[in-house]
Structure 1
Amino acid sequence: MRIDLHCHSNLSDGQLTPEQLVMRAAQMQLDYLALTDHDAVAGVERARSAAQAYGKGAPDIISGVEFSCQWQGFEIHILGWHFDVQHPAMTRLVTQQQQTRRDRAAAIGAKLVKQGVAAEHLPPPVEGQVLTRAHFAAALQSHGYVSSVQDAFRRYLGKGQCAYVPTPWCSIDEAIAAIQAAGGFTGLAHPLAYQLSSKWLKRLIVAFKEAGGEAMEVASGQQEPKQRQLLAQLAQDYDLAASVGSDFHYPGRWRELGRNLTLPAECRPIWASWNLA
């Protein structure tokens, strides 16, 4: 069974529409795909409709989301899967998070204008789309203010830089509670991406588990074997299930839907109880 539980459409910071993602997943011969846009679930039904229209060979679409959370001064991402996208608890938190994103986007824009960026060069708001820092980085690059997206974060958007805006995201507990109230399952996204020390990473995993978290992302496409083994061992040590995800954003050389996502044999897949064919 080929499954990918972490990807993004252009309704957050991906480049492909939900419909295009379904087509690409079919080309990659995926059986199951979870669309996990940042603080957004609007793409799930579009992806399901596209899969139904595509017919045989399309992946089954699993509902998904990736919530940004505040924890001990860090921005931590919590994945949710297999939930009711219309459940009131999910709707409330998505609405809250999207308002937070709109407020942050306005504040980032104001800071960039103060730094000499022309207002017309800022990313325009698009109906149904969640603006992320990646959108601002891409706009700065396309208009020649920086040489790359990485340069935009280094000079403007990264923590401590002139256009960085501290953001009052929801807590890990709130994200997990909303996902589970909607009947879903929860995972800690890309645990090594936060660049925490071993001591702090273990503190994060404990906090996640104490809040009711069920899984951690063990297998990702861009990963050294020793990193996968470390995460598999941590999942075992803390009695957490394991998830897999490409964190796909756009077609490219280094990251692809469903690629290199095999779990180590000792892991317990989060989807084992989902009654997937």
Structure 2
Amino acid sequence: MKRRRFLTISAAMALVPRGVAAEERRWTGRALGAEVSITLFGPVAQTEAALTTCTALLQEIEAEYSLYDPASSLSRLNRDGELPWPSPKMHFLMGLVGELHRMTRGRFDPTVQPLWQALAGGGDVTAARRAIGWQRVRASVEQITLAPGQALTLNGIAQGFATDLVTGVLEEQGFERALVQVGEMRGLGGPWRVGISDPDAGLVTTRDLRNRAIATSSPSALMLGDMGHILDPLGEAAPHWSTVSVEAGSAALADGLSTALVFADLDEVRRVKAETPGEIRVLLVDAEGNLRTV
């Protein structure tokens, strides 16, 4: 299964204070269906301890948001239609989803999961479309409740959120130079050279990432029949863009926006950028491989 994100990275050597035994340490694995890598620069003992903490955190994240683990919090919510006393991380992520849904005027909506399942498995597409609607999800500290027939996929934001959580741990432990990739990327220090590629056009540009995050979505990276795997909850036209990359201070924000904006025309992209708090940059690749930056 091809991943929907296409990012390549390279980095210059870190500047290390004299007298400090420091080296580059890179850990790789998988979480939330994505390749994971953590690159650290620092004293050996510090990097070893940090990687132990980060791998334990990734296991906690998998237990919360995985669609593939039937015991995860998300799987239980989808199965039972409710999740009593969600964890603080789950509750916080639900709040982020609500903000993205508002900012994109409904283009970011995790309740597309029944539609994805219907398209992938030959189910009732019409009934699945009727189940879409984030406004019918109820989320509080005490409970998350879905409307009848609903299910959530957090694939459009959970990887970015996980990237932010791991990066936050590294910041707390004093790292000034690190690169975290959990499907999406976020760098501490830098610059980190990031290449953005399109499934058809190949490498289209590179960016220097410094204390920022980047996320990329390409609908045709995985096909459901003749449709790309990123679904429009508003049920409108085909994707406007072959690839969308978003740079932001938060990987979760970049992840959600890159997912939603593949269906947005240029005017809508400009509106979302103008109304989004903080500095963001949107890179758009059209069907002919042309790059436009907003």
Q: Shared fold by TM > 0.5?
A: no
Q: TM-score, normalised by structure 2?
A: 0.30
Q: TM-score, normalised by structure 1?
A: 0.31
